[in-house]
Amino acid sequence: MNSTSRRLTRRELLTRAAAFAAASPLAPLFAAPEKRQFKIGACDWSIGKMGTPAAFEVAKEIGLDGVQVSLGNLANNMHLRQAEVQQQYKDAAKATGVEIASLAIGEMNSIPYKSDPRTIEWVSDSVDVLKALGVKVVLLAFFSKGDLCDDKPGTDEVVKRLKAVAPKAEKAGVILAIESWLSAEAHMDIIQRVGSPAVQVYYDVCNSNDRGYDIYKEIRWLGTKHICEFHAKENGALLGQGKVDFQKVRQAMDDIGYRGWMQIEGAVPKGGKMLESYQANLKFLRGIFPKNA
């Protein structure tokens, strides 16, 4: 068989198809969508729009990729569990081009998962909300009244409750993410006791740094198997002007192969304006975590 009549290999067919697509007026239809390796969002409560789809307009003005949205609060009975409210968020995301990045149940800081039976339903229902919105992570907050530090009975109860709901999360392919004052080792103890890949750590670099933990070592130790998402945060300072060395955070992320969401939280200096501060924070982070790096 001569070279002009031989059968083309699969690789050659793909190469020619790609060349045709690039040269064709229909090229945009064939082009792969942009894949951002680092996506930067903000918590809805940090940009002054907690529990409302209006957060997406503010996020668009800042220039963010997404918003971490609250499931709700006690007053509105965790309203994101309602289909009509979910649709409002979907519509807002579509209209602005800003993604729903992840969920959070911040109300558990005052109504603790370790002791209040109402939270059992909230966490279970959050799995359904994640599926409905096409989102993978819900942050479970363990601060203030929900703090687990030096609370063995409370921790035992949290492990018990997570064990009960973890199979549902596994089946849905979503993650229940613990954010707390605990060390990496204490987080790992909970994860191992629950025994489910659906339970991971939501790593807040500022909180852990303030507790005196070696955050760069902890990130490497936990790895992507146990860290699902990050908060980029400072208390009372712009990012890059506080205590966290984000260049070293990036190096740690590179070492574990992390690519994904970072949500800006806090990081407004005393007397500073939120919008200007968040635009500055985003510019700073993009210098270290570019979209496609």
Helix (H) or strand (E) holding 142: strand 137-142
Residue 16 has pLDDT above 50, yes or no: no
Structural domain containing residue 22? 1-32
Q: Is residue 293 part of a domain?
A: no
Per-residue pLDDT tens over the stretch 152-193: 999 999 999 999 999 999 999 999 999 999 999 999 999 999
Residue 109 — very low, low, confident or very high, per pLDDT cuts 50/70/90? very high
40 and 13, same domain (yes or no)? no
Residue 292 — very low, low, confident or very high, per pLDDT cuts 50/70/90? confident
27 and 44, same domain (yes or no)? no
84 and 28, same domain (yes or no)? no
The pLDDT value given to residue 267: 96
Q: Comparing C-alpha atoms, which of 120, 204, 118 is closest to residue 158?
A: 120
Residue 36 — very low, low, confident or very high, per pLDDT cuts 50/70/90? low
Residue 38, burial from CB neighbour count under 10 angstroms (0-12, 13-18, 19+): buried
The pLDDT value given to residue 291: 82
Q: Is residue 21 part of a domain?
A: yes
- Amino acid in the structure at residue 206: C
Residue 94 per-residue DSSP state: H
The domain that contains 148 carries what CATH number? Answer: 3.20.20.150
Per-residue pLDDT tens over the stretch 187-216: 999 999 999 999 999 999 999 999 999 999
- Amino acid in the structure at residue 255: D
Residue 278 has pLDDT above 90, yes or no: yes
3 and 144, same domain (yes or no)? no
Domain count, the chain: 2
| β pairing state of 39-43 and 99-105 | unpaired
Give dist(CA 49, CA 43) in Å, integer: 9
Q: Is residue 78 part of a domain?
A: yes
Over residues 95-106, the mean pLDDT reads: 98
Q: Is residue 256 part of a domain?
A: yes
3-state helix, strand, coil in the chain (%, to 5): 50, 15, 35
175 and 123, same domain (yes or no)? yes
Q: Is residue 170 part of a domain?
A: yes
Residue 9 has pLDDT above 50, yes or no: no
Give dist(CA 270, CA 92) in Å, integer: 31
Q: Comparing C-alpha atoms, which of 118, 123, 131, 27 is closest to residue 71?
A: 123
13 and 49, same domain (yes or no)? no
Show Cβ contacts of residue 103 under 8 Å, excluding neighbours closer than 6 positions.
Answer: 68, 69, 70, 71, 80, 126, 129, 130, 133, 135, 137, 138, 139
59 and 198, same domain (yes or no)? yes
Q: Angle at Cα 159 formed by Cα 155 and Cα 164, nearest 5°?
A: 150
Per-residue pLDDT tens over the stretch 217-267: 999 999 999 999 999 999 999 999 999 999 999 999 999 999 999 999 999
Q: Is residue 211 part of a domain?
A: yes
117 and 243, same domain (yes or no)? yes
The pLDDT value given to residue 35: 60
Over residues 132-161, the mean pLDDT reads: 98
**Would you say 266 and 235 are in contact if contact means Cβ atoms under 8 Å apart?**
yes
The pLDDT value given to residue 1: 40
74 and 18, same domain (yes or no)? no
- Longest CA–CA span in the chain (Å) reads 79
Give dist(CA 234, CA 265) in Å, integer: 7
Residue 72 — very low, low, confident or very high, per pLDDT cuts 50/70/90? very high
18 and 133, same domain (yes or no)? no
4 and 41, same domain (yes or no)? no
174 and 55, same domain (yes or no)? yes
